[in-house]
A and B are shown apart, each in its own frame.
Chain A
Amino acid sequence: MQSRAQAMAALLELLADQPVIICNGFPSREAQKLADRPTHFYMIGSMGNAAAIGLGVALSKPSKKVIVFDGDGNVLMGMGTLATVGALRPKNFIHVVFDNEVYGSTGNQPTISNVVQLEKVAKAAGYVAVERVLDREDLVYEFKDMLKNDGPAMLLVKVNEFVEDAGRIALEPPAITARFMKAIE
Protein backbone atom coordinates (compact mmCIF):
# COMPACT_ATOMS: atom_id res chain seq x y z
CA MET A 1 0.00 0.00 0.00
CA GLN A 2 1.31 3.49 -0.83
CA SER A 3 1.73 6.31 1.66
CA ARG A 4 -0.47 9.39 1.62
CA ALA A 5 2.47 11.51 0.47
CA GLN A 6 3.15 9.16 -2.45
CA ALA A 7 -0.52 9.29 -3.47
CA MET A 8 -0.64 13.06 -3.02
CA ALA A 9 2.51 13.53 -5.13
CA ALA A 10 0.93 11.54 -7.96
CA LEU A 11 -2.17 13.77 -7.87
CA LEU A 12 -0.25 17.03 -7.60
CA GLU A 13 1.65 16.10 -10.76
CA LEU A 14 -1.68 16.13 -12.61
CA LEU A 15 -2.73 19.52 -11.27
CA ALA A 16 -1.70 22.97 -12.44
CA ASP A 17 -3.69 26.03 -11.38
CA GLN A 18 -6.78 24.40 -9.88
CA PRO A 19 -7.75 25.51 -6.34
CA VAL A 20 -6.87 22.79 -3.81
CA ILE A 21 -8.25 22.86 -0.26
CA ILE A 22 -6.17 20.64 2.02
CA CYS A 23 -7.45 19.44 5.38
CA ASN A 24 -5.73 20.16 8.69
CA GLY A 25 -2.98 18.06 10.22
CA PHE A 26 -0.27 16.25 8.28
CA PRO A 27 -2.00 16.34 4.86
CA SER A 28 -1.47 20.13 4.61
CA ARG A 29 2.10 19.84 5.84
CA GLU A 30 2.88 17.09 3.34
CA ALA A 31 1.30 19.02 0.46
CA GLN A 32 3.37 22.08 1.37
CA LYS A 33 6.53 19.96 1.32
CA LEU A 34 5.68 18.19 -1.97
CA ALA A 35 4.65 21.29 -3.93
CA ASP A 36 3.88 24.64 -2.35
CA ARG A 37 1.57 26.44 -4.75
CA PRO A 38 -0.41 29.69 -4.28
CA THR A 39 -3.52 27.75 -5.31
CA HIS A 40 -3.21 25.61 -2.16
CA PHE A 41 -5.34 26.52 0.83
CA TYR A 42 -3.70 24.88 3.86
CA MET A 43 -6.02 24.35 6.81
CA ILE A 44 -4.48 24.28 10.27
CA GLY A 45 -7.71 24.14 12.29
CA SER A 46 -11.47 23.74 11.75
CA MET A 47 -11.27 19.97 11.39
CA GLY A 48 -14.15 18.50 9.42
CA ASN A 49 -14.67 21.61 7.28
CA ALA A 50 -12.40 21.01 4.27
CA ALA A 51 -15.20 19.88 1.98
CA ALA A 52 -17.44 22.76 3.06
CA ILE A 53 -14.72 25.32 2.30
CA GLY A 54 -14.16 23.66 -1.07
CA LEU A 55 -17.89 23.66 -1.73
CA GLY A 56 -18.05 27.41 -1.07
CA VAL A 57 -15.24 27.95 -3.57
CA ALA A 58 -16.78 25.58 -6.14
CA LEU A 59 -20.22 27.24 -6.01
CA SER A 60 -18.66 30.69 -6.39
CA LYS A 61 -16.23 29.74 -9.18
CA PRO A 62 -18.18 27.33 -11.40
CA SER A 63 -15.60 27.65 -14.19
CA LYS A 64 -12.80 26.12 -12.07
CA LYS A 65 -12.41 22.50 -10.98
CA VAL A 66 -12.05 22.62 -7.22
CA ILE A 67 -10.13 19.81 -5.50
CA VAL A 68 -10.39 18.90 -1.81
CA PHE A 69 -7.68 16.79 -0.18
CA ASP A 70 -9.39 15.27 2.83
CA GLY A 71 -8.83 12.53 5.40
CA ASP A 72 -11.06 9.82 6.84
CA GLY A 73 -11.23 11.45 10.27
CA ASN A 74 -12.12 14.78 8.70
CA VAL A 75 -14.86 13.31 6.49
CA LEU A 76 -16.37 11.42 9.43
CA MET A 77 -16.44 14.63 11.47
CA GLY A 78 -18.16 16.64 8.76
CA MET A 79 -20.17 13.85 7.19
CA GLY A 80 -23.22 16.07 6.75
CA THR A 81 -21.32 17.94 4.06
CA LEU A 82 -21.41 14.81 1.87
CA ALA A 83 -25.18 15.30 1.85
CA THR A 84 -24.93 19.00 1.03
CA VAL A 85 -22.54 18.28 -1.85
CA GLY A 86 -24.76 15.41 -3.05
CA ALA A 87 -27.84 17.63 -3.02
CA LEU A 88 -26.26 20.66 -4.69
CA ARG A 89 -24.28 18.57 -7.19
CA PRO A 90 -21.57 21.06 -8.15
CA LYS A 91 -20.08 19.68 -11.39
CA ASN A 92 -16.68 21.16 -10.61
CA PHE A 93 -16.07 19.46 -7.24
CA ILE A 94 -13.57 16.61 -6.74
CA HIS A 95 -13.28 15.20 -3.24
CA VAL A 96 -10.13 13.14 -2.65
CA VAL A 97 -10.08 11.21 0.63
CA PHE A 98 -6.76 9.78 1.84
CA ASP A 99 -8.03 6.97 4.06
CA ASN A 100 -5.47 5.58 6.52
CA GLU A 101 -8.09 4.52 9.10
CA VAL A 102 -6.39 6.53 11.88
CA TYR A 103 -6.21 10.00 13.41
CA GLY A 104 -2.60 10.35 12.29
CA SER A 105 -1.88 13.80 13.68
CA THR A 106 -2.75 12.84 17.26
CA GLY A 107 -1.04 9.47 17.58
CA ASN A 108 -2.78 7.02 15.24
CA GLN A 109 -5.91 6.37 17.26
CA PRO A 110 -8.29 4.32 15.06
CA THR A 111 -11.13 6.00 13.16
CA ILE A 112 -14.13 3.90 12.05
CA SER A 113 -13.42 4.05 8.31
CA ASN A 114 -12.29 0.40 8.41
CA VAL A 115 -16.01 -0.33 8.88
CA VAL A 116 -17.75 2.62 7.21
CA GLN A 117 -17.03 2.87 3.49
CA LEU A 118 -17.00 6.60 2.96
CA GLU A 119 -17.25 6.49 -0.83
CA LYS A 120 -20.48 4.50 -0.47
CA VAL A 121 -21.85 7.16 1.86
CA ALA A 122 -20.94 9.77 -0.77
CA LYS A 123 -22.62 7.73 -3.51
CA ALA A 124 -25.80 7.37 -1.44
CA ALA A 125 -25.74 11.11 -0.76
CA GLY A 126 -25.73 11.92 -4.48
CA TYR A 127 -22.11 12.19 -5.66
CA VAL A 128 -22.15 11.43 -9.37
CA ALA A 129 -18.94 9.40 -9.47
CA VAL A 130 -17.16 7.58 -6.65
CA GLU A 131 -14.13 5.29 -6.77
CA ARG A 132 -12.07 3.41 -4.20
CA VAL A 133 -8.47 2.78 -5.27
CA LEU A 134 -5.41 1.12 -3.81
CA ASP A 135 -2.47 1.42 -6.18
CA ARG A 136 -0.91 4.35 -7.97
CA GLU A 137 -1.93 3.26 -11.45
CA ASP A 138 -5.64 3.16 -10.59
CA LEU A 139 -5.33 6.39 -8.63
CA VAL A 140 -3.89 8.28 -11.60
CA TYR A 141 -6.36 6.75 -14.06
CA GLU A 142 -9.44 7.59 -11.97
CA PHE A 143 -8.25 11.09 -11.06
CA LYS A 144 -7.61 11.95 -14.72
CA ASP A 145 -11.12 10.72 -15.45
CA MET A 146 -12.61 12.90 -12.72
CA LEU A 147 -10.70 15.97 -13.96
CA LYS A 148 -12.26 15.47 -17.41
CA ASN A 149 -15.82 14.68 -16.38
CA ASP A 150 -18.60 16.38 -14.45
CA GLY A 151 -18.83 15.74 -10.72
CA PRO A 152 -19.26 15.90 -7.88
CA ALA A 153 -16.82 13.03 -7.54
CA MET A 154 -15.15 11.25 -4.63
CA LEU A 155 -11.87 9.44 -5.02
CA LEU A 156 -11.09 7.41 -1.92
CA VAL A 157 -7.52 6.17 -1.82
CA LYS A 158 -6.45 3.68 0.81
CA VAL A 159 -3.05 4.68 2.20
CA ASN A 160 -0.78 3.38 4.94
CA GLU A 161 -0.07 5.20 8.20
CA PHE A 162 3.34 6.53 7.14
CA VAL A 163 3.82 10.25 7.75
CA GLU A 164 6.41 12.36 5.92
CA ASP A 165 8.86 14.39 7.94
CA ALA A 166 7.10 17.63 7.03
CA GLY A 167 7.36 20.92 8.93
CA ARG A 168 4.54 23.14 10.10
CA ILE A 169 2.81 25.44 7.62
CA ALA A 170 5.28 28.27 6.97
CA LEU A 171 2.89 31.07 6.06
CA GLU A 172 0.77 32.87 8.64
CA PRO A 173 -2.96 32.12 8.16
CA PRO A 174 -3.89 35.62 6.83
CA ALA A 175 -1.11 35.31 4.24
CA ILE A 176 -2.48 31.90 3.15
CA THR A 177 -5.90 33.50 2.63
CA ALA A 178 -4.51 36.46 0.69
CA ARG A 179 -2.25 34.32 -1.51
CA PHE A 180 -5.03 31.82 -2.27
CA MET A 181 -7.54 34.57 -3.11
CA LYS A 182 -5.16 36.22 -5.54
CA ALA A 183 -4.24 32.87 -7.15
CA ILE A 184 -7.83 31.86 -7.89
CA GLU A 185 -9.12 35.31 -8.85
Chain B
Amino acid sequence: MVESDVFVQALENLGVNFFTGVPDSLLGGIIEELLTRKLYTSAVREDEAVAMAAGAFMAGKIPAVLMQNSGLGTSLNTLLSLNMIYRQPCLLLISWRGFEGKDAPEHLVMGETMPQLLDTVKIPHRTLSEQTMVDDLRWAAQTFMKQRIPVALLIKKGVIKGLHP
Protein backbone atom coordinates (compact mmCIF):
# COMPACT_ATOMS: atom_id res chain seq x y z
CA MET B 1 0.00 0.00 0.00
CA VAL B 2 1.26 3.49 -0.91
CA GLU B 3 1.56 6.00 1.93
CA SER B 4 -0.60 9.11 1.41
CA ASP B 5 2.32 11.50 1.85
CA VAL B 6 4.35 9.63 -0.76
CA PHE B 7 1.47 9.87 -3.23
CA VAL B 8 0.87 13.57 -2.55
CA GLN B 9 4.60 14.28 -2.89
CA ALA B 10 4.61 12.45 -6.23
CA LEU B 11 1.73 14.65 -7.43
CA GLU B 12 3.53 17.78 -6.26
CA ASN B 13 6.67 16.61 -8.05
CA LEU B 14 4.60 16.37 -11.24
CA GLY B 15 3.67 20.03 -10.80
CA VAL B 16 0.13 19.63 -9.51
CA ASN B 17 -0.48 22.75 -7.40
CA PHE B 18 -4.26 23.17 -7.11
CA PHE B 19 -6.26 20.48 -5.32
CA THR B 20 -10.00 20.49 -4.82
CA GLY B 21 -12.78 17.94 -4.55
CA VAL B 22 -15.37 16.22 -2.43
CA PRO B 23 -14.19 13.54 0.03
CA ASP B 24 -14.52 9.77 -0.05
CA SER B 25 -13.33 7.42 2.67
CA LEU B 26 -10.84 5.82 0.25
CA LEU B 27 -9.37 9.28 -0.39
CA GLY B 28 -9.35 10.32 3.28
CA GLY B 29 -5.61 9.82 3.74
CA ILE B 30 -4.75 11.86 0.65
CA ILE B 31 -7.06 14.71 1.67
CA GLU B 32 -5.67 14.73 5.22
CA GLU B 33 -2.16 15.04 3.80
CA LEU B 34 -3.27 17.82 1.43
CA LEU B 35 -4.91 19.69 4.31
CA THR B 36 -1.71 19.35 6.38
CA ARG B 37 0.21 20.86 3.46
CA LYS B 38 -2.48 23.58 3.07
CA LEU B 39 -3.01 22.59 -0.54
CA TYR B 40 -6.67 21.59 -0.52
CA THR B 41 -9.68 23.75 -1.36
CA SER B 42 -12.88 22.04 -0.28
CA ALA B 43 -15.82 22.02 -2.72
CA VAL B 44 -19.49 21.22 -2.00
CA ARG B 45 -20.27 19.36 -5.23
CA GLU B 46 -18.10 17.59 -7.74
CA ASP B 47 -19.23 19.72 -10.69
CA GLU B 48 -18.24 22.79 -8.69
CA ALA B 49 -14.84 21.23 -8.00
CA VAL B 50 -14.31 20.49 -11.69
CA ALA B 51 -15.32 24.06 -12.65
CA MET B 52 -13.02 25.55 -9.98
CA ALA B 53 -10.19 23.43 -11.34
CA ALA B 54 -10.95 24.75 -14.85
CA GLY B 55 -10.71 28.32 -13.56
CA ALA B 56 -7.48 27.53 -11.75
CA PHE B 57 -6.03 25.96 -14.89
CA MET B 58 -6.81 29.06 -16.94
CA ALA B 59 -5.09 31.12 -14.22
CA GLY B 60 -1.90 29.09 -14.61
CA LYS B 61 -2.32 26.23 -12.13
CA ILE B 62 -2.05 22.48 -12.66
CA PRO B 63 -5.26 21.19 -11.03
CA ALA B 64 -6.38 17.88 -9.57
CA VAL B 65 -9.93 16.99 -8.49
CA LEU B 66 -10.64 14.27 -5.94
CA MET B 67 -14.00 12.54 -5.88
CA GLN B 68 -15.90 9.33 -5.22
CA ASN B 69 -17.14 7.78 -8.47
CA SER B 70 -20.70 8.84 -7.59
CA GLY B 71 -19.38 12.35 -8.19
CA LEU B 72 -18.50 11.41 -11.74
CA GLY B 73 -22.23 11.33 -12.41
CA THR B 74 -22.71 14.69 -10.72
CA SER B 75 -19.90 16.34 -12.66
CA LEU B 76 -20.40 14.74 -16.07
CA ASN B 77 -22.02 17.75 -17.78
CA THR B 78 -19.25 20.06 -16.58
CA LEU B 79 -16.56 17.66 -17.76
CA LEU B 80 -18.20 17.34 -21.19
CA SER B 81 -19.55 20.86 -21.89
CA LEU B 82 -16.70 22.76 -20.21
CA ASN B 83 -13.40 20.88 -19.90
CA MET B 84 -13.63 18.65 -22.97
CA ILE B 85 -14.79 21.23 -25.50
CA TYR B 86 -12.73 24.13 -24.11
CA ARG B 87 -9.56 22.00 -23.75
CA GLN B 88 -9.16 22.56 -20.04
CA PRO B 89 -7.30 19.60 -18.55
CA CYS B 90 -7.39 18.38 -14.97
CA LEU B 91 -6.25 15.27 -13.16
CA LEU B 92 -9.25 13.36 -11.80
CA LEU B 93 -8.49 11.17 -8.80
CA ILE B 94 -11.59 8.99 -8.56
CA SER B 95 -12.16 6.39 -5.87
CA TRP B 96 -13.60 3.18 -7.30
CA ARG B 97 -16.46 2.36 -4.99
CA GLY B 98 -18.47 -0.72 -5.91
CA PHE B 99 -15.47 -2.50 -7.45
CA GLU B 100 -16.38 -6.13 -8.25
CA GLY B 101 -19.73 -5.68 -6.55
CA LYS B 102 -18.27 -5.63 -3.04
CA ASP B 103 -19.81 -2.48 -1.61
CA ALA B 104 -23.08 -0.92 -0.48
CA PRO B 105 -25.96 -1.07 -3.00
CA GLU B 106 -25.78 2.58 -4.00
CA HIS B 107 -22.27 2.04 -5.39
CA LEU B 108 -22.91 -1.09 -7.44
CA VAL B 109 -24.14 0.28 -10.78
CA MET B 110 -21.49 2.98 -11.04
CA GLY B 111 -18.89 0.54 -9.70
CA GLU B 112 -19.65 -1.89 -12.49
CA THR B 113 -20.02 0.57 -15.36
CA MET B 114 -17.49 3.33 -14.60
CA PRO B 115 -14.71 2.22 -17.02
CA GLN B 116 -17.21 1.86 -19.90
CA LEU B 117 -18.76 5.20 -18.97
CA LEU B 118 -15.35 6.91 -19.13
CA ASP B 119 -14.62 5.17 -22.45
CA THR B 120 -17.98 6.30 -23.84
CA VAL B 121 -17.35 9.96 -22.99
CA LYS B 122 -13.70 9.66 -24.14
CA ILE B 123 -12.05 10.52 -20.82
CA PRO B 124 -8.70 8.66 -20.74
CA HIS B 125 -8.27 6.58 -17.58
CA ARG B 126 -6.00 4.14 -15.82
CA THR B 127 -6.39 2.16 -12.64
CA LEU B 128 -3.65 3.07 -10.18
CA SER B 129 -1.59 0.32 -8.55
CA GLU B 130 1.38 0.40 -6.19
CA GLN B 131 3.58 -1.46 -8.67
CA THR B 132 2.79 0.85 -11.60
CA MET B 133 2.31 4.16 -9.75
CA VAL B 134 5.34 5.93 -11.24
CA ASP B 135 4.35 4.92 -14.75
CA ASP B 136 0.64 5.70 -14.13
CA LEU B 137 1.48 9.22 -13.00
CA ARG B 138 3.84 9.76 -15.92
CA TRP B 139 1.10 8.58 -18.31
CA ALA B 140 -1.44 10.90 -16.66
CA ALA B 141 0.89 13.90 -16.96
CA GLN B 142 1.69 13.17 -20.60
CA THR B 143 -1.98 12.69 -21.51
CA PHE B 144 -2.89 15.90 -19.63
CA MET B 145 -0.30 17.92 -21.54
CA LYS B 146 -0.86 16.34 -24.95
CA GLN B 147 -4.65 16.05 -25.13
CA ARG B 148 -5.51 18.94 -22.78
CA ILE B 149 -8.62 17.24 -21.45
CA PRO B 150 -9.46 15.64 -18.07
CA VAL B 151 -7.55 12.42 -17.37
CA ALA B 152 -8.65 9.98 -14.67
CA LEU B 153 -6.74 7.79 -12.26
CA LEU B 154 -9.05 5.26 -10.62
CA ILE B 155 -8.19 4.40 -7.02
CA LYS B 156 -9.40 1.11 -5.58
CA LYS B 157 -9.57 0.24 -1.91
CA GLY B 158 -6.20 -0.71 -0.41
CA VAL B 159 -3.96 1.01 -2.97
CA ILE B 160 -3.32 4.23 -1.03
CA LYS B 161 -3.44 4.23 2.74
CA GLY B 162 -6.66 5.84 3.94
CA LEU B 163 -7.63 7.16 7.34
CA HIS B 164 -8.64 3.66 8.46
CA PRO B 165 -6.33 1.20 6.69
Chain A interface residues toward B at CB < 8 A = 19, 21, 41, 43-49, 52-61, 78, 80-81, 83-84, 87-88, 173-174, 176-178, 180-181, 184-185
Min C-beta distance of A60 to chain B, whole Å: 4
Question: Which residue on B lies nearest to A46, using beta carbons?
Answer: B82
For A59, the chain B residues whose CB sits under 8 A away are 18, 41, 52, 55-56
Chain A residue nearest in CB terms to B53: A56
Tell me the chain B residues, 78-94 only, with Cβ under 8 Å from chain A.
78, 80-82, 85-88
Q: Is the CB of B56 within 8 A of A60?
A: yes
A87 to B44, CA, bound (A): 11
Known pairs A177-B87, A184-B59 / 10 extra A-B pairs, C-beta < 8 Å: A21-B55, A45-B85, A49-B50, A53-B55, A56-B58, A57-B55, A58-B55, A84-B43, A177-B86, A184-B58
Return the contact of B52 from the options A19, A41, A53 (Cβ within 8 A).
Answer: A53
Instruction: Select which of B55, B59, B60, B88 is within 8 A of A52 by beta carbon.
Output: B55
Shortest Cβ gap from A52 to chain B (Å): 4
Measured between beta carbons, the chain B residues less than 8 angstroms from A21 are 55
CB pair A60–B87 under 8 Å, yes or no, is no
CA distance A21 to B86 in the complex (A): 14
Minimal beta-carbon separation of B46 from chain A (angstroms): 11
Known contacts A84-B43, A173-B87, A177-B88: does B59 contact A53 (CB below 8 Å)?
Answer: no
Tell me which residues across on chain B come within 8 A of A81, comparing CB atoms.
44, 48
| Interface pair B55/A176, CB less than 8 Å apart | no
Q: Which of A52, A180, A181 has the most CB of B within 10 A?
A: A52
CB of A56 within 8 A of CB of B59, answer: yes
CA distance A178 to B81 in the complex (A): 17
Query: Across the interface, do B48 and A78 meet the contact criterion of CB distance under 8 Å?
Result: yes
- A57→B80 CA distance, assembly (Å): 20
Q: How far is the CA of A177 from the CA of B87 in the complex (A)?
A: 7
In the complex the two chains form, what is the Cα distance from A22 to B63 in whole Å?
22
| Pairs across A and B, CB under 8 Å, 12 listed | A47-B77, A49-B50, A52-B48, A53-B54, A56-B59, A60-B55, A61-B60, A78-B45, A80-B44, A81-B44, A177-B86, A184-B58
- Chain B interface residues toward A at CB < 8 A: 18, 20, 41-45, 47-61, 63, 77-78, 80-82, 85-88, 148
8 shortest interchain CB distances as A-B pairs: A56-B55, A45-B81, A60-B59, A52-B51, A49-B51, A46-B82, A56-B52, A80-B44
Per DSSP, chain B at the interface is helix
Q: Which of B49, B54, B61, B86 has the most CB of A within 10 A?
A: B86
> Do residues B77 and A56 form an inter-chain contact, with CB atoms below 8 A?
no
A49 touches B58 (CB 8 A): no
Q: Does B48 contact A180, Cβ atoms closer than 8 Å?
A: no
Contact residue among B41, B56, B63, B82 (Cβ-Cβ distance under 8 Å from A49):
B82
Chain A residues with Cβ below 8 Å from B60 are 60-61, 181, 185
Name the CB-closest residue of A to B81: A45
How many Å lie between the Cα of A21 and that of B82 in the bound state? 13
B44 touching A53, Cβ below 8 Å: no
Residues of B within 8 A of A44 (CB): 81, 85
